[in-house]
Amino acid sequence: MSGHRIAVIPGDGIGKEVVPAGLEALHATASRFGISLQLDEFGFASADYWQRHGTMMPADWEETLRGYDAVFFGAVGWPEVVPDHVSLWGSLLQIRRTFDQYVNLRPCRLMPGVRSPLADREPGDIDFVVVRENTEGEYSSVGGRVFEGTERETVLQETVMTRTGVDRVLRFAYEQAARRPARHLMSATKSNGISISMPYWDERVAEMGGRFPDVRVDKLHIDALAAQFVLHPDRFDVVVASNLFGDILSDLGPACAGTLGIAPSANINPERDHPSLFEPVHGSAPDIAGQGIANPVGQIWCASMMLEHLGHPEAAAHLLGAIEDVLALGPAEAPLTPDLHGKGTTVELARAIADRVRERSPI
Ligand code: NAD
Ligand code: IPM
Ligand code: MN
């Protein structure tokens, strides 16, 4: 029996709907595999907390979360109440940076039973991971406004690339590629237009490649790469990208693979000096929040990634297998949510997956 302490932060909007769904599947899997979990739920990193306290997180958030083995996170952002840059820099982005979660690992797979909006694409055609740099790059708070309110008003925001920051995420991406059968790494660049930081990124990609002779590496400018996601998603195995490019690709990929609603992500501190954070790729989806129809699969897949990270690969694979089994039934047989062309609810789909966790034989 192994025990893990997990901090649970539902956040805003559909975060509050998909997190309980994720926990149901997590509990079913943990009890099947004899894994003991201690879960503590926190209400901060939400617009409700902001309304009560005027900040997104308590002053001691870092000490509080540091004691956990992982954070299971929903989504944050409710622009009607607090501007997005304030809520995100006051919570999720601060957590990623403070805990040095410099890898954002975002798998993208066309699952059996899920329809891709791309013509004639089948499971197997889309199966790649995006490795997104997660603590620097275009997401910097370096910059500012000058001459405000005048004709000379000027706004600057710097991209920051450090050798340590770039190399460590590239190393992780090459290691991922080296472990996969295709052993291919695609680097997202834009060194034709972004003339300082992106040529540097390309140099570091080439340099790091010297340590991974078994990995084939290519690069594409981000504009062409985005087009290739749509035209030839089968070309991709591991994609490594800067913070902003990785953000965009990790919404585009899941959209090509049917829906953003099933996409998971792991914000990882590979050295394990700090807890890693597991959250779906999607946000709080104000347009569907409160209707009970959010797809819980992204959050449930996060539970699988978290179990893997915590050292339970069999439990993780079992849970992912249960997700696949239920999706494969299709909207006629399973309570799939509307984004998967079904009529099911968040609760019904989560229940079906948790039931499947209990029923299916271990791998
Ligand atoms: P979003 O991901 O919340 O929604 C984009 C679209 O996808 C919407 O039409 C939504 O209904 C749909 N969608 C998203 N998740 C779904 C699910 N599980 N099931 C079915 N449909 C789903 O992106 P947005 O609208 O740009 O952002 C809304 C808020 O969330 C903003 O405040 C934004 O800053 C925040 N956000 C937070 C995170 C995060 O916490 N990691 C990520 C992205 C956006
Ligand atoms: C994501 C989100 C965040 C990001 C936003 C909400 C700041 O889009 O996790 O992909 O850009 O990293
Ligand atoms: Mn995003």
DSSP state string for 205-259: HHHHHTT-TTSEEEEEEHHHHHHHHHH-GGG-SEEEE-HHHHHHHHHHHHHHTT-
pLDDT at 1 over 60: no
Sign of CA dihedral 116, 118, 122, 126: negative
Q: Is the CB of 237 under 6 A from ligand 2?
A: no
Q: Is 247 in the pocket of ligand 2 (CB under 6 A)?
A: yes
Whether 346 and 295 have beta carbons less than 8 Å apart is answered as yes
Q: What is the pLDDT of residues 306-320, one digit of tens each?
A: 999 999 999 999 999
147 pLDDT above the threshold of 60:
yes
Q: Kindly report the backbone phi and psi dihedral angles of residue 22, in degrees, each rounded to the nearest multiple of 5, phi listed first.
A: -65, -40
Separation of 356 CA from ligand 2 center, angstroms?
31
Q: Are 101 and 148 a contacting pair, CB within 8 Å?
A: no
Nearest to 9 by CA among 60, 51, 43: 43
State mean pLDDT over 55-78: 98
Question: Bridge partners of 250?
Answer: none
CB atoms within 10 A of CB 273: 9
Ordered structural domains, the chain, with CATH: 1-102+266-363 (3.40.718.10), 116-257 (3.40.718.10)
Question: Residue 361: its pLDDT value, please?
Answer: 85
Ligand 1 closest atom vs CA 88: 34
Query: Residue type for 221, please?
Result: H
Show the 3-state SS of 140-178: CCCEEEECCCCCCCEEEECCECCHHHHHHHHHHHHHHHH
pLDDT(259) > 90: yes
pLDDT of residue 363: 66
Which atom of ligand 2 is least distant from the CA of 76?
Answer: 6
Instruction: Choose the residue to mutate in 73, 93, 139, 279 for probing ligand 2, maximizing ligand atoms within 8 Å of C-beta.
Output: 93
Alpha carbon 36 to its chain centroid, in Å, reads: 25
Residue 37 parent element (H or E)? strand 35-41
Ligand 2: does its nearest atom lie under 6 Å from the Cβ of 12? no
Q: Are 282 and 298 in contact (CB under 8 A)?
A: yes
* Predicted pLDDT of residue 362: 78
Tell me the CA–centroid distance for residue 251 and ligand 3, in Å. Answer: 6
Residues counted in the chain:
363
Question: What's the first-to-final CA gap in the chain, in angstroms?
Answer: 20
Of all protein residues, whose CA lies closest to atom 1 belonging to ligand 2?
281
Is residue 261 lining ligand 1, measured as CB closer than 6 Å?
Answer: yes
User: Ligand 3 center to residue 152 CA distance, Å?
Assistant: 32
Q: Would you list the DSSP string of 71-139?
A: EEEEE---TTTS-HHHHHHTTHHHHHHHTT--EEEEEEE--TT---SSTT--TTSSEEEEEEE-SSBT-
Percent of the chain's residues with pLDDT above 70? 99
Whole-number average pLDDT of the chain: 97
* Whether this model's pTM surpasses 0.95: yes
251 vs 104: CA distance, rounded Å: 13
**Could you count the other beta carbons within 10 Å of the beta carbon of residue 149?**
7
State yes or no: ipTM above 0.90: yes
Task: Tell me how far apart the alpha carbons of residues 239 and 232 are, in angstroms, rounded to a whole number.
Answer: 14
Query: Cα-flanking dihedrals φ and ψ of residue 93, to 5°?
Result: -70, -35
Tell whether ligand 1 has an atom less than 6 A from the beta carbon of residue 282: yes
In whole angstroms, what is the distance from residue 242 CA to residue 170 CA? 10
Task: Give me the mean pLDDT over the 62-73 stretch.
Answer: 98
Does position 253 have pLDDT exceeding 60, yes or no? yes
pLDDT tens digit string along 196-245?
A: 999 999 999 999 999 999 999 999 999 999 999 999 999 999 999 999 99
CA distance 289 to 291: 6
The answer to whether 288 touches 324, Cβ cutoff 8 Å, is no
Q: Is 283 in the pocket of ligand 1 (CB under 6 A)?
A: yes
Instruction: Let me know: does 64 contact 8? Beta carbons within 8 Å.
Output: no
Burial of 251 (0-12, 13-18, 19+ CB in 10 A): middle
Distance, in Å, from the CA atom of 351 to the CA atom of 348, rounded to the nearest integer, reads: 5
277: β partners: 71, 267
Give me the amino acid identity at 246: G
